[in-house]
Amino acid sequence: MTGSQHAISLSPETFHIIVTGWIILGLILIPIQLSQTAPFGRHFSTKWGPVMDNRTGWVIMEIVSPVALWGSFLASGAAWSSPVVVLMGVWTAHYINRSVVYPMRMRTQGKQIPIVIVASAISFNCFNGWSNGAYFGADWGGYSSNWLADPRFIVGLMIMGCGAMINLRADNTLLRLRSNTDKGYGIPRGGLFEKVSCPNFFGEIVEWTGFAIACWNLPALGFAIWTAANLIPRAISHHQFYQRTFEDYPKNRRALIPGAL
């Protein structure tokens, strides 16, 4: 792999030490997230301080990811390559949906989110976008056009596409369910919902695992690890919520991974 002729200010050694520390932090936080459910959505609580409008908070915390990605890449002055265009393109497409399309479809009138949750998500998305964009733009990172034919790039994008489809289909099911359920929550049916409580989270984990394979670099691996570290505990919390809320909730469903978790 070859990159641009412009280097970011950090040496590759320093950069990788920082990203490795970031990955370790994500792993350390897993036990905390397993014991303490983040108080937003169906788990909303006012115990975590001031709150704000849920939709506004969602847009703000998600939009910073592509902004940080593009900002760090463009600041490097790197030359464009076809693989970088593709990888940044799929990232941007995901976050256009997450920061614009999805919030506009949510039934969140009157719902709120703690500001501390929005702030923590902004911090995550800023670092995540910065580290990946910086790697794409570094002269010791980046990709030559040959990477388009690399099996890791091809297989990774295929896995990412499958994960995105699972995620989008599950999101659509939940959005339809919310629009047809007066009390706001019901038992989701169809597709992978017959096997697990949170196929939307499963799809997102698969999606960013595929991205990490397609990129084959440490920042993308960090993104995949943090995604799993955040969503596995939340899937377990959602599963427990369904079991508490609905007496007739299917007993054979797992939380996240069919037949396993």
pLDDT digits (tens, 9 = 90+) for 67-89: 999 999 999 888 889 999 999 99
Helix (H) and strand (E) counts in the chain: 9, 2
What confidence tier does 34 reach under pLDDT thresholds 50, 70, 90? confident
Q: What is the enclosing helix (H) or strand (E) of 224? A: helix 218-245
Among 261, 207, 206, 208, which residue's Cα sits nearest to residue 233? Answer: 261
Residue 253 Rama label (left phi>0; alpha psi -120 to 50; beta):
beta
CB contact at 8 A, 162 and 210: yes
Spatial neighbors of 26 by CB under 8 A, at least 6 apart, are 222, 225, 226, 229, 230
* Mean pLDDT along residues 229-251: 92
Write out pLDDT tens, residues 136-173. Answer: 999 888 899 999 999 999 999 999 999 999 999 999 99
CB contact at 8 A, 40 and 114: yes
CB contact at 8 A, 18 and 10: yes
Q: Which token pair is 194?
A: 């017959």
Average pLDDT, the chain: 89
Q: Domain residues of the chain, as ranges?
A: 12-245
